[in-house]
A and B are shown apart, each in its own frame.
Chain A
Amino acid sequence: GIQVEQSPPDLILQEGANSTLRCNFSDSVNNLQWFHQNPWGQLINLFYIPSGTKQNGRLSATTVATERYSLLYISSSQTTDSGVYFCAVFFYAGGTSYGKLTFGQGTILTVHP
């Protein structure tokens, strides 16, 4: 199956700093999502980005499908950005199986005031 690796595993920032999180995947994918899991355990959709670049406020993401990686950029970080960031991918094998997401192990982000 598809392997998903995220880096770095841990990241500590001062409020206001910028950061880049990376997601590498081992095969072609049809779907890639970035999630933020907050300290209460809620898994929040950030981006659905199988290719290209998207921006939402201070966050943006880029997926280069041909090179099998995606990047999540966080600018002017805030304490509320703390939590775990997951990348998840899906490969469509055909037929009616729309399939499962395969998750990376996550990046634990801590933003200090």
Chain B
Amino acid sequence: GAGVSQSPSNKVTEKGKDVELRCDPISGHTALYWYRQSLGQGLEFLIYFQGNSAPDKSGLPSDRFSAERTGGSVSTLTIQRTQQEDSAVYLCASSLVRVYQPQHFGDGTRLSIL
């Protein structure tokens, strides 16, 4: 079956521009996660959505970052007024709703800020 799908796979933009990254989770997975992988910081959690509950935003690094999940499926991560330190690979994962379920990752979006 289809895995987690992310788009675009690569994004190059100028400092100060806004970017939107998209994630389409595995069908039937109601939990969705965003992570970021950057040099020197490793893999770090950003935000988590579970069904209709309020998202866990505890990992968002600044108020320039936001995310939404429409219809309980597709999610968009938005970065406003991008900075060079935002350059990273942004990974999305999804899992079944039950506790202790493994997370499955997409191929990521490689974001480069010039």
Contacts and interface: CB of A to CB of B under 8 A. Distances in A.
B102 A98 contact: no
A18 B97 CA distance: 37
B104 interface: yes
A50 B58 CA distance: 24
> A interface, by DSSP: helix, strand, loop or mixed?
loop
A22 B104 CA distance: 22
Contacts of A30: 99-100
A106 B40 CA distance: 12
B59 A41 contact: no
A100 B48 contact: yes
B99 A41 contact: no
Contacts of B95: 98
B48 A45 contact: no
Contacts of B93: 101
A106 B42 contact: yes
9 contacts: A30-B99, A41-B89, A41-B108, A45-B104, A86-B43, A98-B99, A100-B33, A100-B56, A102-B45
Interface of A: 30-31, 33, 35, 40-43, 45, 48, 50, 86, 88, 92, 96-106
